[in-house]
A = this chain, B = another copy of it.
Amino acid sequence: MNIAFIGLGQMGVPMARNLLRAGHSLCVFDLVTPQVELLVAEGAVAAASAIDAVKHATMVLTMLGAEGVLAAVAPGVPLIDCSTIDPLTAKEVAAAAAARGNPMADAPVSGGTAGAQAATLTFMVGATASLFATIKPVLEHMGRNVIHCGDCGTGQTAKICNNLLLAISMIGVAEAMNLGTSLGIDAKVLSDIINTSSGRCWSSDTYNPVPGIMSNVPAARDYQGGFATRLMLKDLGLATEAARRAGQTVMLGSLAQQLYQLASSQGLAERDFSSIFTLYHQMR
């Protein structure tokens, strides 16, 4: 494959590196030059612009939205956008691409920078069945789980719905743990009970936000690393905006967005999203 890879951030660099290692030819572009040079040293070709990058590509992969390059891509070449955007916008861009003869997939990822480096990402793919069959082998060089969610837009839908629920669960755990400990129950005892009861959830049993409960989670290292509060806030913005456009209500989701906005403005923007617990704990 002659792949154009556009958008070389903290996720894009290791993802592109895994494609190079799998033997693909890569033409890369990013406004940040050092990132480009990293990959050129490993065998990629640097393009002068995004438009330039896609000219001779047989597949286009973007990590920052694909709208800008549509006009420059040859007819028939598939486009894969791996960034997280609003599902309805994803559908509109895919329709515009289809009108130019380019099949397009939305394929947002989860798994973070560690997953990008280890090629263990999960790709949630919205695409026709035939496009999915074409792109799956390429995505499998960067991830472990490549899931076909349905037609265009459903990859974004899966991602934002999961993250909507994740944000709500995390705040729920924060409220339950803060209330419980303020009433005198030991935090470890309470989390053990929750984790074997109907309150069980990933935010409690795998990623507990209360320091001292688990090791190897951001709460154990002052909320450094992980999934930043500002990124969760971005995804909640996408979810609530998608809900507005679809005419649906997300009442807890809307309040979760406000709480993550508050957390961001209280200095937690770059901390892991489980640091929302400190909003409650600080109130004590």
Contacts and interface: CB of A to CB of B under 8 A. Distances in A.
Interface stretch (A54-62, A68-76, A146-154): A146-154
B239 A184 contact: no
Copies of this chain, count: 2
Interface in A196-234: 196-204, 206-207
B172 A157 contact: no
A99 interface: no
Contacts of A20: none
Interface residues of A, number: 68
Given A193-B124, A193-B158, A255-B251, A172 B179 contact: no
A252 B171 CA distance: 7
A143 interface: no
Given A153-B184, A157-B183, A182-B246, A164 B168 contact: no
A270 B227 CA distance: 40
A266 interface: no
Contacts of A164: 172, 175-176, 179, 199
A203 B180 CA distance: 21
Contact of A194 (B161, B184, B199): B161
A169 interface: yes
A158 B180 contact: yes
Given A158-B193, A172-B169, A172-B172, A248 B283 contact: yes
A51 interface: no
Contacts of A251: 171, 175, 255, 259
A166 interface: yes
B182 A161 contact: no
Contacts of A78: none
Nearest to A178: B248
B110 A197 contact: yes
